[in-house]
């Protein structure tokens, strides 16, 4: 069951969240209780299921590819300038995600994680998207679709 339980204690104003993972027939993962705003390291919570291989949690490039596939499926066309951007860490970006990363960076949906000393954007494609980053990306994506 996918749910988030919010626990409030007004006495000391502490707030904690409990994340429960539905493993869909895989090994059980204990509920994770953390203080609100705390990052959960999902690499410590890996499900297992017979005859399946867990390939990891979604990364920033995975989100970009999912949204690009959605745009293609819905036949949403947003004009993008034809300029190719060289990222500081582009050797870390997988081939399957490069087109989506290029497009979404140009559209302002992905902003990267800063610039290197040469002024090139750092994408940090090996990092994991936080809830806030995923929500921001989805929000900017929906705004672009509404403009199209």
Whether 32 maps to a domain, the answer reads yes
Whether 87 maps to a domain, the answer reads yes
pTM summary value? 0.58
Tell me what pLDDT residue 117 has: 94
Tell me what pLDDT residue 5 has: 41
Q: Please give the share of the chain, as a percent, with pLDDT higher than 90.
A: 16
Question: Tens digit of pLDDT for each residue in 86-102?
Answer: 999 999 998 888 999 99
User: What is the extent of the structural domain holding 19?
Assistant: 3-44
DSSP sequence for 96-115 = HHHHHHHHHHHTTS---S-B
Residue 35 sits in the same domain as residue 94: no
Please state the rounded mean pLDDT for residues 110-137: 85
Tell me what pLDDT residue 58 has: 62
Tell me what pLDDT residue 91 has: 92
The structural domain count of the chain equals: 2
């Amino acid at each position: 069951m996918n749910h988030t339980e919010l626990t409030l204690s007004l006495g000391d104003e502490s707030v904690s969240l409990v994340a429960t993972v539905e493993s869909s027939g895989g090994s059980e993962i204990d509920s994770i209780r953390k203080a609100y705003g705390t990052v959960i390291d999902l690499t410590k919570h890996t499900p297992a299921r017979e005859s399946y291989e867990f390939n990891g949690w979604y990364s920033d490039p995975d989100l970009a590819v999912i949204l690009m596939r959605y745009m293609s499926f819905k036949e949403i066309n947003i004009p993008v300038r034809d300029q190719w951007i060289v990222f500081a860490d582009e050797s870390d970006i997988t081939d399957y995600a490069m087109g989506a990363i290029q497009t979404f960076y140009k559209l302002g949906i992905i902003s990267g994680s800063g610039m290197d000393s040469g002024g090139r954007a750092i994408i940090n494609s090996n990092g994991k998207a936080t809830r806030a980053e995923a929500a921001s990306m989805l929000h900017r994506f929906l705004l672009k679709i509404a403009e199209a």
